Homo-oligomer: A and B are copies of this chain.
Amino acid sequence: MKILITGGAGFLGQRLARRLLDRGELNGQPITEMVLLDVVAGNDFGDKRVRVETGDIADRSVLERAIDTKTEAIFHLAAIVSGQAEADFDLGMRINLDASRLLLEVCRALGHAPRVLFTSSVAVYGGALPDVVQDDTALNPQSSYGTQKAIAELLLSDYSRRGFVDGRVLRLPTISVRPGKPNAAASSFASGIIREPLNGERAICPVDGETRLWLLSPKSAIEALIAGLEIDREKLGNRPVVNLPGLSVSVNEMIEALREVAGEEAVARIDRQRDERIEKIVGSWPGAWNPERAEQLGLQGDKTFADVIRAYIADQKA
């Protein structure tokens, strides 16, 4: 099986690649080739199955180089994150919308209907929301990122319905704890307020402590991407979009979990400094949704946020 991962040099892309290479198979078939496409070159892990491709994913020829009729599974992770898509409207439209559509078009032209997995986001929801979002709750995105992701969901669903691809969309909770540096996502702090204090650095918490987030650990996200790609089309029916399980945790509860795991010293490194721009975007997202359907499809989340922090620490040591 030949696999394409877009955003293949990114945090999730690299982690997914490594996990798949270790696993050796996907959907019961041996992985023979893996293309990691990104705007910068990703790590090929010294593995002969990996081909690193660099280029602009909104350029059709780049996608045509990355996909052929042997490409049976595509994980489309490339995206402009929420804060950046809000700051640069055209860039968000080009990558989050146009490139996603182009990817579907290239598959359609090839005609072999590969499995295509898009990732979407809590940001497709917004406005007046119930405490727990249900599968049939309307989307009302209050950011350009959320709008672009919602459009990509609709496109994938229709291309899938028409048989151009065998598509599925996983709506990801906010991923925490991400390793590395802060990024331009409005939710970047959701990792920063844990990661930086653990590294002995100061972190800013830009939202009210009562703000409720819907979180998923990187490890569980990777397992869900793989399980999501392996779901039989029939099980998805006419709803290829699935809300992934998450943990509903307030920012104060996240900080309490940090205290439990790393002590008062770590918590003292967090500065509370509210940022209206971030509060407006993050505050429009749901703090929880009903994960029942995802769980029925075999997709799983995390147990407690303290466990997520402990797993992050263990992972960084390894």
Chain A contacts to B: CB under 8 angstroms = 89, 126-128, 135-142, 144, 147, 150-151, 154-155, 157-158, 161-162, 238-239
The reply to whether A238 and B154 form a contact with Cβ atoms under 8 Å apart is no
The reply to whether A137 and B138 form a contact with Cβ atoms under 8 Å apart is yes
- List of B residues within 8 angstroms of A157 by Cβ: 140-141, 147
- List of B residues within 8 angstroms of A142 by Cβ: 161, 238
Contact of A154 with B158 at beta-carbon distance under 8 Å, contacts A238-B140, A238-B142 already known: no
Of A136, A138, A154, A161, most B-chain CB atoms within 10 Å: A154
The reply to whether B138 and A162 form a contact with Cβ atoms under 8 Å apart is no
The reply to whether B140 and A239 form a contact with Cβ atoms under 8 Å apart is yes
The reply to whether A147 and B158 form a contact with Cβ atoms under 8 Å apart is yes
The reply to whether A139 and B140 form a contact with Cβ atoms under 8 Å apart is no
Contact of A144 with B162 at beta-carbon distance under 8 Å, contacts A136-B138, A137-B136, A155-B151 already known: yes
- List of B residues within 8 angstroms of A139 by Cβ: 138-139, 154
Q: How far is the CA of A157 from the CA of B136 in the complex (A)?
A: 20
- List of B residues within 8 angstroms of A89 by Cβ: 162
- List of B residues within 8 angstroms of A161 by Cβ: 142
Instruction: Give A89's nearest chain B residue, CB to CB.
Output: B162
Instruction: Give A136's nearest chain B residue, CB to CB.
Output: B138
A-B contact pairs, 12 of them (CB 8 A): A126-B238, A127-B238, A136-B138, A139-B139, A140-B238, A141-B157, A142-B161, A144-B162, A147-B154, A147-B157, A150-B154, A151-B151
Q: How far is the CA of A71 from the CA of B128 in the complex (A)?
A: 33
- List of B residues within 8 angstroms of A155 by Cβ: 147, 151
Q: How far is the CA of A135 from the CA of B239 in the complex (A)?
A: 20
The reply to whether B127 and A239 form a contact with Cβ atoms under 8 Å apart is yes
CB distance from A293 to the nearest CB of B (A): 12
Instruction: Give A146's nearest chain B residue, CB to CB.
Output: B158
- List of B residues within 8 angstroms of A135 by Cβ: 138
The reply to whether A158 and B138 form a contact with Cβ atoms under 8 Å apart is no
- List of B residues within 8 angstroms of A158 by Cβ: 141, 144, 147
Of A126, A137, A155, A158, most B-chain CB atoms within 10 Å: A158
Contacts A142-B161, A142-B238 known; list 4 others, CB within 8 Å. A127-B239, A128-B136, A140-B239, A147-B155
Contacting residue for A154 out of B127, B128, B136, B141, CB 8 A: B141
- List of B residues within 8 angstroms of A136 by Cβ: 128, 137-138
Q: How far is the CA of A150 from the CA of B154 in the complex (A)?
A: 8
Q: How far is the CA of A265 from the CA of B299 in the complex (A)?
A: 60
CB distance from A164 to the nearest CB of B (A): 9
- List of B residues within 8 angstroms of A137 by Cβ: 136, 138
Contact of A138 with B138 at beta-carbon distance under 8 Å, contacts A127-B238, A147-B157, A158-B147 already known: yes
Q: How far is the CA of A239 from the CA of B128 in the complex (A)?
A: 10
Q: How far is the CA of A144 from the CA of B154 in the complex (A)?
A: 10
Q: How far is the CA of A140 from the CA of B169 in the complex (A)?
A: 13
